[in-house]
Amino acid sequence: MRVTVIDYKAGNLTSVLKALRHLGAEPEVTDCDLAMVEAAERIVLPGVGHFAATERLDETGLTPAIRAAIARGVPFLGICVGMQWLYAGSSEAPQQPGLGHFPESCTRFIESPEKVPHVGWNSLEVHNGSRLLAGVEPGEYVYFTHSYKGPVTEDTAATTFYIEPFAAAVERGNVMGVQFHPEKSGATGLKILGNFLGVSR
């Protein structure tokens, strides 16, 4: 199975590609090939770092290409900042719009004695009906590293609590996102990536 992995020069792709290959997928990477996105069977957008780096998706024309692929029903998975990009934007870079598939915006954790960024393992509270998180039991742990987070809404597929509740995963139709890093989350993360590979159009 071919998976198109988007490289906007701010994500650590190595572990994502390794995990996808482990699951039997054939990942192909592009940072600007619009034809590759147009022909994609599945799209994964890994991301780390600052939300402003997603500007490259606009500059290369990948944003409208991804939007068109989503409209055709191509399954899409955003990871970490890749999930945050699915929202209207983020207070981390107010001048840089996101894809806007989800109308809300991402915000920084509120002031607290707890450390920010949130780094380490935390458990998931999975909402019923998620295809991405099928078979994930309540309380299973995944690995996070982030300072900004999405709000809990009707599109939230799983929540986690750190300082405050936030969206650990979102899902609407063929568009999915996870705030955590499934490629660094052991057997649970591989299960989630495997679920994404099995999602039918």
Domains of the chain and any CATH numbers = 2-198 (3.40.50.880)
pLDDT attached to residue 48? 87
The reply to whether 55 belongs to the active site is no
Please identify which residue in the block is written with the tokens 């780094």.
119
Q: What pLDDT is attached to residue 64?
A: 97
pLDDT at residue number 7 = 94
Cα distance between residue 24 and residue 22, in whole Å: 5
- Catalytic annotation on 183? yes
Q: How many CB atoms lie within 10 A of CB 132?
A: 23
- Which residue type is seen at 70? I
Q: Which residues of the chain have pLDDT under 50?
A: none
Check: CB of residue 190 under 8 Å from CB of residue 22.
Answer: yes
Catalytic: which of 80, 101, 140, 171? 80
- The per-residue pLDDT for 12 is 74
Rounded to whole angstroms, the Cα distance separating 150 from 118 reads 13
87-92 long-range contacts, CB within 8 A, separation 24+: 87/150, 89/51, 90/51, 90/148, 91/148, 92/50, 92/51, 92/52, 92/147, 92/148
Distance CA 195, CA 190 (A): 8
- The span from the CA of 150 to the CA of 132, in Å, is 17
Catalytic residue flag (residue 80)? yes
CA atoms within 13 A on the CB side of 141: 6
Q: What is the pLDDT of residue 200?
A: 84
